[in-house]
Amino acid sequence: MTTAAATAGRRTAKAKPATMAQALGRALRDSMAEDPAVHVLGEDVGTLGGVFRITDGLAKEFGDERCTDTPLAEAGILGAAVGMAMYGLRPVVEMQFDAFAYPAFEQLASHVAKMRNRTGGAMPLPITVRIPYGGGIGGVEHHSDSSEAYYMATPGLHVVTPATVEDAYGLLRASIASDDPVVFLEPKRLYWSKADWSPQHPTAVEPIGRAVVRRPGRSATLITYGPSLPVCMEAAQAAVEEGWDLEVVDLRSLVPFDDETVTASVRRTGRAVVVHESTGFGGPGGEIAARITERCFHHLEAPVLRVAGFDIPYPPPMQERHHLPGVDRVLDAVARLQWEADN
């Protein structure tokens, strides 16, 4: 995996407020400028710049052969990307919304994920599949799915999801530079989150597969990613008043999974809550809780808990606030860890 591309960048004095959407667009632009093999394709990515404007300006700068408006067919888009990658290109595919990536799942599971393996390493596919995912933006049906468990359950794919503006840039650069296929899940409700950031301001990005401790703490660990990170940060802040010192781990990468960081944190704190908005049953949290239990059993003061979305199809927008795990649900779970204040 090339990390040089992800960490490259010239230092300038001043960082300006930027959104995650801008950082993603900048990552695409810089990747395309650096490597003529990088091609962007998808629905409305050209003239319109994508429905979220992530690809804004790319067609103008690089031409419509490098940033291509395709026919409206997700399997066709990803299938064509497979062939393009077979011929030495590095396609970056945009799926318009989470649930509209499902027609392409066959291509993803049967070909994208397996080509390296099927060919005994002779034919890796450097494809990045960008998928806006998750709720919280008041989208109608099929516009708010958390589909990460499907991709996690498919060996051969990397599955990453940024939660900060810096990571959006760095992880996308690393994904495009990776010779393995990456499902790049973009938490759409964080698209407009801001940070003082400019791509000239170097952000050191670790290789795909490293979690990061966003907030150190001693009493319990909140393990989360993507759209639920701000929720957990807020919960940790609120918990301080009650004398709780919560550590927050941002996974960033669901596959590969950073057992090391997670295990070290939970061994330190002795308690863990996994937080995500995807469903609980069969969701990522079950896997994560099992891994923690296997590795930290003797360090645990309480069972590993999960705070997840309900096991229901994603609800209509006027009801989604009931489904999405918020700060209170996280704090309730922390309370259920049978907190015994030692500080």
Residues carrying an active site annotation? 143
Q: How far apart, in whole angstroms, are the C-alpha atoms of residue 338 and residue 334?
A: 8
Nearer to other proteins, 9 or 91 (CB): 91
- Residue from 1, 8, 51, 238 touching other proteins (CB under 8 A): that is 1
- Minimum separation from the CB atom of position 305 to other proteins (A): 23
- Minimum separation from the CB atom of position 153 to other proteins (A): 13
Nearer to other proteins, 11 or 120 (CB): 120
| Inter-residue contact 55 to 44 (CB < 8 Å) | no
- Residue from 86, 204, 240, 290 touching other proteins (CB under 8 A): that is 86
Q: How far apart, in whole angstroms, are the C-alpha atoms of residue 105 and residue 154?
A: 10
| DSSP-assigned letter for residue 86 | H
Q: Which stretch binds other proteins (CB under 8 A): 109-117, 195-203, 222-230, 327-335?
A: 109-117
Those residues with Cβ within 8 angstroms of residue 55's Cβ, 6 or more apart along the chain or in another chain: 25, 28, 40, 42, 45, 46, 49, 67, 94
- Cα dist from 2 to 159, 182, 332, whole Å: 17, 13, 42
Beta carbons within 10 angstroms of residue 35's beta carbon: 15
Q: Does 116 interact with other proteins (rule: CB under 8 A)?
A: yes
Nearer to other proteins, 179 or 311 (CB): 179
Nearer to other proteins, 242 or 294 (CB): 294
Scan residues 120-159 and list those touching other proteins (CB under 8 A). 120-124, 155-156, 158
Scan residues 256-295 and list those touching other proteins (CB under 8 A). 256-257, 259-260
CA 62 from chain centre, in angstroms, equals 27
Q: How many residues bind other proteins (CB under 8 A)?
A: 49
Q: Which residue has the tokens 């008043």?
A: 241
For residue 173, give the nearest of 101, 97, 90 by alpha carbon: 90
Three state DSSP letters for 277-337: EEECCCCHHHHHHHHHHHHHHHHCCCCCEEEEECCCCCCCHHHHHHHCCCHHHHHHHHHHC
Nearer to other proteins, 256 or 326 (CB): 256
| DSSP-assigned letter for residue 53 | -
- Minimum separation from the CB atom of position 286 to other proteins (A): 16
Q: Does 180 interact with other proteins (rule: CB under 8 A)?
A: yes
Scan residues 183-242 and list those touching other proteins (CB under 8 A). 209
What does the block give as tokens for 313?
Answer: 């199809």
Scan residues 43-82 and list those touching other proteins (CB under 8 A). 65, 70-71, 73, 75-76, 78-82
The footprint of other proteins (CB under 8 A) covers: 1, 39, 65, 70-71, 73, 75-76, 78-89, 91, 103, 106-107, 110-111, 114-124, 155-156, 158, 178-180, 209, 255-257, 259-260
